């Protein structure tokens, strides 16, 4: 296996994990964009009932993991795009049963002086749009005795549920069927960032010491001394 830094050999080329570049995944990315980390977020949980969590879905660099995350994110974008301030979904972990998705809904900072109240409102918005989403026909085999009845979403912001809450099965659009699996610690949060720590967290492990935060208007990047167009950068000649 010629691949480095967590890369996976496909038989013809190296498939590199996030923020790693090069034919053999031998380089760290020139920049890492952390802008999505700047705003508030809502931690949520979903259980996908018509997929099995295979071993390679625990590997974030595997094609199976990436394909599932892409599909899940597209569905969440379709469902949640109308929620005020919605800017995307970030999958945090995939675990068994069938596939339990722990993920974060990214939001634009709320206007006005009551961020907590605004986040709580938007958490409820997320549930409402999920509950209103149409059910795909290919999920009917999973509905059992509930088939044909109204079903609530299995998307659970944890601050909105109590111990023992289990929502009825509710499949969402195209391809993935969802049900509530448990009540857990999902909550709305305003991130308090240490930019240096974030850079080290998101940078490839072998290169993390070389990255530092660089702010540009409303964004934040992790860069190195080799990053072009950054004050103080040097020509590293791909080294």
Write the CA distances from 208 to 52, 198, 200, 202, 218, integer angstroms: 34, 10, 5, 8, 23
Report the SS3 class of residue 193: coil
**Which range marks the domain in which residue 59 is found?**
39-189
Q: Is residue 97 part of a domain?
A: yes
Quick: pLDDT tens for 149-161: 334 445 555 444 3
Asked whether residue 64 falls in the same domain as residue 17, the answer is no
The Cα 204–Cα 22 span in angstroms is 13
In angstroms, the CA 63 to CA 159 distance is: 33
Q: Which residue has the tokens 């857990």?
A: 184
Mean pLDDT of all residues belonging to the chain: 75
Clarify whether residues 58 and 123 are in a common domain: yes
Residue 203, token pair as written in the block: 């940078």
Token duo for residue 74? 């597209």
Q: Domain check: are 83 and 176 in the same one?
A: yes
Give residues with Cβ within 8 angstroms of 163, minimum separation 6. 183
Measured distance CA(219)–CA(33) in Å, rounded: 8
3-class DSSP string for 6-54: CCEECCCCEECCCCEECCCCCEECCEEECHHHCCCEEEEEEEECCCCCC
Single out the residue in 147, 164, 189 at which a domain terminates. Answer: 189
Predicted pLDDT at 87: 86
53 plus 153 within the same structural domain: yes
Determine, yes or no, domain membership for 1.
Answer: no
62 is a domain residue: yes
> Do residues 81 and 128 both lie within one domain?
yes
> Does some domain include residue 233?
no
Residue 166 corresponds to which tokens in the numbers above?
């289990």
In terms of domains, do 113 and 43 share one? yes
Q: Which tens digit of pLDDT belongs to each residue from 21-67?
A: 999 999 999 999 887 776 778 888 888 888 889 988 888 878 889 89
Q: Within a domain: residue 234? A: no
- CATH of residue 101: 3.30.70.960
> What pTM was estimated for this model as a whole?
0.61
Residues 105 and 208 in one domain: no
Report if residue 239 sits inside a domain.
no
The answer to whether 199 touches 213, Cβ cutoff 8 Å, is yes
Do residues 81 and 26 share a domain? Answer: no
Residue pLDDT, tens place only, 179-228: 743 333 335 555 555 788 888 888 988 899 999 999 887 778 999 999 98
- Count the domains in the chain: 2
Distance CA 50, CA 144 (A): 13
157 and 118 in a common domain: yes
**Is 237 inside a domain boundary?**
no
Question: Looking at the structure, do residues 107 and 184 belong to the same domain, yes or no?
Answer: yes
12 shares a domain with 24: yes
Whether residue 113 is found in the same domain as residue 12: no
């Amino acid at each position: 296996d010629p691949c480095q830094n967590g890369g996976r050999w496909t038989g013809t080329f190296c498939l590199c994990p996030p923020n790693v570049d090069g034919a053999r995944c031998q380089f760290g990315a020139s920049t890492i964009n952390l802008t999505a980390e700047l705003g508030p977020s809502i931690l949520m949980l979903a259980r996908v009932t018509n997929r099995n969590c295979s071993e390679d879905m625990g590997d974030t660099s595997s094609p199976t993991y990436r394909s599932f995350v892409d599909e899940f994110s597209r569905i969440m974008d379709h469902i949640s795009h109308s929620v005020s301030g919605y800017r995307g979904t970030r999958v945090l972990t995939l675990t068994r049963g069938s596939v339990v998705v722990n993920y974060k809904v990214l939001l634009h900072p709320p206007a006005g002086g009551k961020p907590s109240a605004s986040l709580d409102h938007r958490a409820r918005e997320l549930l409402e749009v999920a509950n209103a989403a149409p059910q795909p026909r290919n999920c009917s085999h999973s509905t059992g005795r509930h088939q044909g009845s109204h079903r609530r979403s299995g998307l659970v912001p944890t601050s909105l549920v109590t111990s023992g809450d289990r929502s009825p099965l509710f499949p969402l659009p195209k391809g993935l069927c969802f049900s509530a699996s448990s009540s857990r610690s999902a909550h709305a949060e305003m991130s308090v960032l240490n930019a240096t720590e974030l850079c080290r967290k998101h940078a490839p492990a072998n290169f993390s010491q070389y990255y530092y935060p660089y702010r540009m208007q409303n964004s934040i990047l992790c860069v190195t001394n080799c990053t072009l167009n950054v004050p103080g950068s040097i020509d590293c000649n791909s080294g």
